[in-house]
Structure 1
Amino acid sequence: MEMRDTPRRAGRRLGVRVTAGAATLALASLAACSGGSGGSGGSHGAVVMWHGYTDVEAKAIAQLGQEWNAAHPDQKVNVTFGGSNDDALKKTLASFVSGKAPGIAYEFGSSINTLAARNQTQDLTSLVKSSPSFQWDDFFPAARQATTTPDGKIYGVPALVDNLALVYNKKLFDAAGLSYPTANWTWDDFRAAARKLTDASQHRFGWAYVNDGTEDTVWRYIAMLWQAGGDLLTPDNKKAAFDSPAGLQAMQLLHDMSVTDHSVYLDTGDGQYQNLFNSGKIGMLWTGPWDLSGINKDIPYGAQVLPAKVNHATIAGPDNYMLFNKGDRKTAWAFLQWLDSAQTHLKFAVATGDLPLRESETKLPGYKDFLKRYPANEVFVDNLSKNATKSRPNIPEYPKISQALGAAVQSVLLGKAQPQAALDQARQQVDQILAGA
């Protein structure tokens, strides 16, 4: 089962709506030039790298491919669109069967367990650990965690990292006589602001929550669970740990804001929350940098860390470049090291608005240009070193765990279940999943 990591499906990365014509052209190009240039200067025998980028990101990654090939004529890489990132895992597994796998592919972080179990996927642990110049510890913790299995093996290098922060409409705060959110905001502050921003007669809500029961629903709850000092599973990943005082506090807040206060717009997964934010019908979002480019220019907005119960924990949705046993692996590894270097990736970040992957990127002169172009991203970057300290477990059972927890959160937000009862039922389901029942 392929699971989408984050709510980027309606955005510019993970759920891009590719037109039929664009998809046909991309697939035709891929079929016609398995070793061709792919728009990045490759030649016959080049290492093929699949990505699912579109728009500015597609242009930026193609440009980097051209730069690499110009400087390395004997180590060419064919950087090519391999289809939507939503279908990356399915397409990669099919390529293993057909024998036409790429040398490198962009994959969701959640795909690591499925792909790590395949013989075609390269274990990069020794390469990462034996390459001092790669500076593995320089990557933000959330990015490293997404590449690593519970047994400590590394099966990818970071391709993207992001996280959730509080994005708010300043105009609505001003109209309600509210001070803007601060880094000291608590859950109580957040709930009170959402209540004051809500106006049923105007069909306006203080906050929006994606409530389709998918990982979009789950990962916001997990951030709240961590904010209250709880955890999803026990340290050995053998039992559920979310049915705890912290888990109940998080679920109770969702219940109270949605069912009692009626201050939450429940999005069905169709992404309407952004249209409503743009039309002044939603005051606050818990979202990431992928949504910022979709905010209307006439909407004055700000970004702040998420509110705290005992801390300001957030959750990241990292993705990876993974290497397969196809083509020249020495070239593939050299290219990935260059692509993920601080200087190269910061160039990509400035062009696209993607967050830096490494701490050292924030120390380079070009980082000032990044913040000048994307000032709201400073909060998300700060989160990566301060508040994105935990990750979802990289275990094969996680997709089923997410389904069970997603149903529980959804039922509470809809007022169909009480918080404790929903937690109890989800815990029983998750314990059975982890026991292999």
Structure 2
Amino acid sequence: MERKRLYAIVIAIIVVGAAASVAAAFLLGAPPPPVPVHVYTVIGDSEWFDLPAGGTTEVSATVLDNGAPMFGISVGISVTPSTEGTLSASSAATNPLGIARVEYTAFNRTVNTSLVFVFTATIEGSQRSGSVEVRQLGIGFQPTTARARGLVLKESDRLAIANATVQVNLRNMTGLPPGTPSFFSNNSDEQGLYEVTGVPPREAFIQVVKAGFKSERQNVTLVAGKNTRTDFLLEQLAGKVLTVWHTYSGKEEDEFLKMADRYRATRPDLNVVVEFQAFAGAPEKFIVAATAGNAPDVMRFQNDRLGEVASLGFLEPLDSRLDPPTIQRYQAQALAAMRIEGSIYALPATQDLLAVVYNRALFRAAGEPEPLDGWTTDDLIRIAGNLTAPGQWGFVTPQTNGYYWFPWLVGFGGEIFTVPDTQPIDGDSDVGLNTPEAARSVLFMHSLEKVHGLMFANPGEDPMLTEFLSGRAAMITTGPWNIPAVERAEIDYGIAPYPIVSDTGERARPVLGVKGFGIWKLSSVKDDAFDFIRFITSPEEQKKFSLGVGGAPGTNDIPTAQAALSDAEIQANPVIARYLLQAQYSSEFPSRPAMASVWGPVTDALAFIYQDVDPTSPTAETDARAILTQEEQEIYG
């Protein structure tokens, strides 16, 4: 079986060495030698994304130093949840190719679950981790394999072109678990052949992308037991080429391609090559490409990763190109999310955040009124308690996921960082984990399960959604991206903002995530790249995109342009309207470079507190703060 790279989680750290030699040179009056800079990466890889129950997959990790494999580095590999199968070894030393491998065997399951393989390597005395996700399919979701094979041909001589990227959009997603991606992307082998695997019946369109070439999109049907061979003619492009990496999938990708086509119609002098990258690993892949000097001209980023990439010097500041009309077209908070240490590095395209989604039918059956905009956490506990019954949960939210904890942190008076994004953290108290507010907010969140019994044990995102779609959860916390699944399940639903925390009088505020498009610092077509991102983030294009993906099976993307948000057709979408209400009660999603280092320690802290701290214990707050303090030190390194 051809291996398929699915996710690449790259932990980029800058290690500055030779401090002693620099000091000695200074004392001797000689100019200091150049300080070596190393970008270390830990890349995770898995053979399957959809792992059948009872199936086996190989997982591996590669440690790179400035893109080159490092040998003799011990990489520990673990999997969560650990009860879903067995690893052949808990850790393995890298082989002569710099790769650590282990084999994982899944247990039989009746429901689908998400497995996360975590790779840990010690580099320069400091532990760094990467991960890759594998979805284990339950018995009801076991796939039948179908393959399509194609030969990439060059129009001039009809010879195979090796190492082209093949993009496949798989259709007919009905019946697949939530979160199953609609794209697979593979590199062709030395003979220019590619292979994709899907779950039939699947219709697909396939397009081949290679720098300087283009191909038409072809439709294919994947049929079990049948190999479909498709030949592609690649036409060599003449003139300037603008390469764009996006992370859209499904209907979003369809609308983005239409948007790119509309731009092409305005620029016949420019060849716009659009390539898909998996959302989970796109920033890391961009860092690797930029380090090697071959990054795309334009890239889509979420703001919590934007600062990390900008701090490495890989993105072009846009301030000199932003005239007042361009600045004024965007929501102030959306544009602020693209600002890193005083400079704008991307133009905002869409925004999203969490809110409380509830089942109206279950509320009616219990005689409970729907949540009001000014409700409190006391109201939440009371209402959810009345909605909790055998086989039914009143309120479900993930217990060990930082993204779902941040709203409670803010509601209890805490914050992720205690200094502005323009000020670097100094290692003392600039991260807001080691605070009474942080400890109290974690204990409150865990008490919803452990004290009040409103949800099942330690729910994750997918199990939470599954319970809601099956009608067994009255309230959950989720974003507009899951509303199409709710509508397909024919749930009569409502959307409410997070409640006011009764103990503080402050509203719980989810972080506002903003996705936008930035430009590679070394792009040779920066003017064209800015012209492109200004076009696709214009109010007119944002409106077309939002209406194009809105409603089932869309994703209800919320625009960032003022004129699009005030448009009557956009405001007529009740989902966008309710999430815009929540956006009024949102908090800033930090864009600073240090945000990339927060996720791991926060996840560990929440997991350790969940496991080891009883929320009713007299020492609960002290115990929780001790764990938070320890994990905060990991952020400072």
Q: Same fold (TM over 0.5)?
A: yes
Query: In 2 relative to 1, CA 173–410 (structure 1 residues): closer, same or farther, beyond 3 Å?
Result: farther
1:317 has 2:517 as partner: no
Aligned to 2:252: 57
TM-score between the two structures when normalised by the length of structure 2 = 0.59
Q: Do the aligned residues in 2 keep the contact of 1:36 with 1:46 (CA within 8 Å)?
A: no
Q: CA deviation at 1:35?
A: 4.9
Q: CA deviation at 1:68?
A: 1.0
Aligned to 2:582: 383
Aligned to 2:445: 254
Q: CA deviation at 1:118?
A: 3.5
Query: In 2 relative to 1, CA 220–120 (structure 1 residues): closer, same or farther, beyond 3 Å?
Result: closer
Query: In 2 relative to 1, CA 173–34 (structure 1 residues): closer, same or farther, beyond 3 Å?
Result: farther
Q: Do the aligned residues in 2 keep the contact of 1:278 with 1:299 (CA within 8 Å)?
A: yes
Q: Do the aligned residues in 1 keep the contact of 2:299 with 2:518 (CA within 8 Å)?
A: yes
Aligned to 2:536: 339
Aligned to 1:359: 562
Q: CA deviation at 1:66?
A: 0.9
Taking the aligned partners of 1:137 and 1:72, their CA distance within structure 2 comes to: 23
Counterpart residue identity of residue 526, structure 2? R
Q: Secondary structure at the match of 1:174?
A: helix
Q: Secondary structure at the match of 2:394?
A: strand
Of 70, 73, 82, 2:265 maps to: 70
Aligned to 2:303: 109
Identify unmatched segments of 5+ residues in structure 1.
none
Taking the aligned partners of 1:328 and 1:165, their CA distance within structure 2 comes to: 40
The answer to which structure has the higher strand fraction is 2
Query: In 2 relative to 1, CA 408–422 (structure 1 residues): closer, same or farther, beyond 3 Å?
Result: farther
Query: In 2 relative to 1, CA 194–409 (structure 1 residues): closer, same or farther, beyond 3 Å?
Result: farther
Aligned to 1:264: 455
Query: In 2 relative to 1, CA 125–46 (structure 1 residues): closer, same or farther, beyond 3 Å?
Result: same
What does 1:126-205 correspond to in 2, within 5 Å?
126-128=320-322, 131-136=323-328, 138-141=330-333, 143-149=334-340, 151-199=341-389, 201-202=390-391, 204-205=392-393
Taking the aligned partners of 2:530 and 2:185, their CA distance within structure 1 comes to: 33
Query: In 2 relative to 1, CA 234–136 (structure 1 residues): closer, same or farther, beyond 3 Å?
Result: same
Taking the aligned partners of 1:21 and 1:394, their CA distance within structure 2 comes to: 29
Q: CA deviation at 1:43?
A: 5.0
Q: Which has the larger radius of gyration?
A: 2
Q: Do the aligned residues in 1 keep the contact of 2:358 with 2:474 (CA within 8 Å)?
A: yes
Aligned to 2:231: none
1:32 has 2:210 as partner: yes
Aligned to 1:121: 315
Identity rate, percent: 19
Q: CA deviation at 1:18?
A: 4.2
Aligned to 1:93: 287
Counterpart residue identity of residue 387, structure 1? Y
Taking the aligned partners of 1:210 and 1:51, their CA distance within structure 2 comes to: 28
Q: CA deviation at 1:242?
A: 4.3
1:370 has 2:566 as partner: no
Q: Secondary structure at the match of 1:264?
A: coil
Taking the aligned partners of 1:251 and 1:421, their CA distance within structure 2 comes to: 12
Give the count of matched residue pairs: 413
TM-score between the two structures when normalised by the length of structure 1 = 0.84
Q: CA deviation at 1:244?
A: 4.0
Of 71, 75, 82, 2:276 maps to: 82
1:230 has 2:392 as partner: no
Q: Do the aligned residues in 1 keep the contact of 2:601 with 2:634 (CA within 8 Å)?
A: no
Q: CA deviation at 1:196?
A: 1.5
Taking the aligned partners of 2:497 and 2:318, their CA distance within structure 1 comes to: 34
Aligned to 1:290: 481
Counterpart residue identity of residue 193, structure 1? I
Taking the aligned partners of 2:329 and 2:263, their CA distance within structure 1 comes to: 25
Counterpart residue identity of residue 260, structure 1? V
Taking the aligned partners of 1:251 and 1:298, their CA distance within structure 2 comes to: 33
Query: In 2 relative to 1, CA 332–393 (structure 1 residues): closer, same or farther, beyond 3 Å?
Result: same
The answer to which structure has the higher helix fraction is 1
Q: Secondary structure at the match of 1:205?
A: coil
Q: Do the aligned residues in 2 keep the contact of 1:35 with 1:46 (CA within 8 Å)?
A: no
Counterpart residue identity of residue 100, structure 1? N
Q: CA deviation at 1:218?
A: 0.9
Q: CA deviation at 1:105?
A: 1.0
Q: Do the aligned residues in 1 keep the contact of 2:317 with 2:344 (CA within 8 Å)?
A: yes
Q: CA deviation at 1:396?
A: 3.3
CA RMSD of aligned residues (A): 3.2
Taking the aligned partners of 2:379 and 2:494, their CA distance within structure 1 comes to: 17
Counterpart residue identity of residue 369, structure 1? E
Q: Deviations over 1:367-412 (max 9, x none)?
A: x32344x31221112333x212x32333333333332222333344
RCO comparison, higher one (Cα < 8 Å, 6+):
1
Taking the aligned partners of 2:271 and 2:609, their CA distance within structure 1 comes to: 53
Q: Do the aligned residues in 2 keep the contact of 1:233 with 1:241 (CA within 8 Å)?
A: yes
Q: CA deviation at 1:321?
A: 1.1
Q: Deviations over 1:237-268 (max 9, x none)?
A: 44133444533442232232111111123555
Q: Do the aligned residues in 1 keep the contact of 2:209 with 2:275 (CA within 8 Å)?
A: no
- Of the structure 1 ranges 396-405 and 296-305, higher mean CA displacement relative to structure 2 is found in 396-405
Taking the aligned partners of 1:160 and 1:272, their CA distance within structure 2 comes to: 27
Q: Do the aligned residues in 1 keep the contact of 2:605 with 2:631 (CA within 8 Å)?
A: no
Query: In 2 relative to 1, CA 222–270 (structure 1 residues): closer, same or farther, beyond 3 Å?
Result: closer
Q: CA deviation at 1:84?
A: 1.1
Q: Deviations over 1:91-137 (max 9, x none)?
A: 21232244432110112323223321334421222223xx2221257
Q: CA deviation at 1:76?
A: 4.4
Identify unmatched segments of 5+ residues in structure 2.
1-8, 12-115, 117-133, 136-172, 188-193, 197-204, 218-234, 550-555
Query: In 2 relative to 1, CA 227–35 (structure 1 residues): closer, same or farther, beyond 3 Å?
Result: farther
Taking the aligned partners of 1:229 and 1:25, their CA distance within structure 2 comes to: 52
Q: Do the aligned residues in 2 keep the contact of 1:225 with 1:242 (CA within 8 Å)?
A: no
Q: CA deviation at 1:31?
A: 4.4
Q: Secondary structure at the match of 1:50?
A: strand
